[in-house]
Structure 1
Amino acid sequence: MPLRDHFRPPVDDQHSWEELHGQWPAVIVQQLRPHLPPGFIAGPRVHPGSQIEVDVATYEKDNAPPFAADTSDGGGAVAVWAEPTVEVEALLDFDEYEVRVYDVQRGRRLVAAVEIVSPANKDRPESRRAFVAKCSALIQQGVAVSIVDLVTTKRFNLFLDLLETIGHTDPTLGDPPPPTYAASCRAVKRGKKTLFQARSHHLELGRPLPTLPLWLDSERVVPLDLEASYEQACHDLWIA
């Protein structure tokens, strides 16, 4: 079945993209279960961020003079240098739609993560940096990361942003890179070298989704069948 555009009519006239993003991780977990070796488990993690807007114009500019210590009553006071010069709402809570795979025989060690990109992950530079930093940190910790991006309304490619953090690119995705894509990546040790490995695909509307490798360790890999889980999630939600 074809990939739909969940961010434009006619699909988003009847279904919010959040419905798919909320359902899909659970379906992925169900479909991974028969493929995972003994000792490995998967679980969904869905955490919509608070969507706080960063507004640098909201800092206080009272007409009162700077605070000065008043010691007339013998008490202490907050020093002038302790007063903030800027006070803003911070974007510290981010969207997370993901599946995490653990090796329970090694103390529930996280070995793989499937990150489903939301519009909020792509809409601002700080949001994109936070998403890339999270993926980069996971990979540095030995976690294999798969990124799935169906967001058609934002042109940014976070997988290529991730590659740029290590000084590389992926010529197979073309120039300009597509806004919708799927990729699996990991870091592996080869002697004294650390190699970054990835497999990426351009996701096209009207075409089936690919199967990605979900690496569990240096030897074991299981299929991440995006098409099967995506279609099941759409079926469950009555998305035609």
Structure 2
Amino acid sequence: MPLRDHFRGWLDQEMKWHSFHQAWATYIAEALTTRLPEGFRASPNVQTAIEIDVAAFGGARTPPRAPTDREEPAWQPSGGTLTLPFEVTEPATEVLVHGRRDGSYLAAAIELVSEGNKDRAEAREAFIAKCETYLQQGVGLVIVDLVTTRAANLHDGLLARVSPTAPVWGERLYATAYSPQGKNGAAKLTVWQEPLAIGAALPTMPLWLLHGPCVPVQLEATYEDTFRRLRLPTEGP
């Protein structure tokens, strides 16, 4: 199902982005759960010291899945759009404390951009700083920006923070994925960039798990599923 404009016109009248945003995060997390290996789990709309739309946790004490007759082969993403030099810190204190507290650690995060993330310089800086912290801790990240009413590119702002030599992309709507790997002077950040367009299908993005494999985030399938479950029309009057 092609991407719709959630911020102007008939769909904005049917349901505000905030409501769709929360539901989509839930269904993305639900879809991820079927693909995560043992010991990982996905949670939507995580509210801690910071807000994460969809989080993947490692170290969870989850019961093993029953074996199936036909196991799907491990999913492999295409090559990244670009690779940048990047320093991954040792495991951050915040992650270590979290791990000791409840036996789990943040392994990956998915951010669905809202208008509030882009409307003021302070909000943009807060979003970028949050995402930079994930990457510095070695946490895999996916950003999805469908906001048609604000021109700021948070991805470009993030890359400018982590690597001053990164090229400026400038897309208004996009999905991006980030894999920080390595340390001790040999670290790198691999980036996947997919431009989005109203009327076009959404891509599948790679989500890299800290201490785990890469799993697909099926944006198109979960986007369509959200419309169906919320009983939203796919076309205006």
TM-score bracket for the superposition, by shorter chain length? 0.7 to 0.9
Is residue 42–residue 99 contact of structure 1 (8 Å, CA) maintained in 2? Answer: yes
Q: How many residues align?
A: 190
Report the counterpart of residue 27 of structure 1 in structure 2: 27
> Unaligned regions of 5+ residues in structure 1, if any?
48-92
Amino acid at match of 1:2: P
Deviation at 1:190, TM superposition (A): 6.0
Amino-acid identity (%): 39
Report the counterpart of residue 124 of structure 1 in structure 2: 120
SS in structure 1 at match of 2:158: helix
TM-score when normalising by structure 1: 0.74
Cα-Cα RMSD = 2.0
Q: 1:139 aligns with which of 131, 135, 141?
A: 135
Report the counterpart of residue 169 of structure 1 in structure 2: 166
Q: 2:54 aligns with which of 99, 123, 126?
A: 99
Relative distance call for 1:20 and 1:203 in structure 2 (3 A) is same
The 1-side partners of 2:13 and 2:24 are apart by: 20
Is residue 121–residue 131 contact of structure 1 (8 Å, CA) maintained in 2? Answer: yes
The 2-side partners of 1:28 and 1:3 are apart by: 16
The 2-side partners of 1:6 and 1:178 are apart by: 18
Q: How does 1:30-179 map to 2 (within 5 A)?
A: 30-45=30-45, 96=51, 98-104=53-59, 107-166=103-162, 167-170=164-167, 173=169, 177-179=170-172
TM-score when normalising by structure 2: 0.75
Q: How does 1:3-22 map to 2 (within 5 A)?
A: 3-22=3-22
Q: 1:220 aligns with which of 210, 213, 224?
A: 213
Relative distance call for 1:162 and 1:215 in structure 2 (3 A) is same
Is residue 44–residue 55 contact of structure 2 (8 Å, CA) maintained in 1? Answer: yes
Q: Which has the larger radius of gyration?
A: 1
Higher relative contact order (CA 8 A, sep 6+): 2
Is residue 213–residue 221 contact of structure 1 (8 Å, CA) maintained in 2? Answer: yes
Is residue 28–residue 229 contact of structure 1 (8 Å, CA) maintained in 2? Answer: yes
Report the counterpart of residue 233 of structure 1 in structure 2: 226
Tell me which stretches of 4 or more aligned residues in structure 1 moved more than 4 Å.
Answer: none
> Unaligned regions of 5+ residues in structure 2, if any?
61-98
Relative distance call for 1:99 and 1:209 in structure 2 (3 A) is same
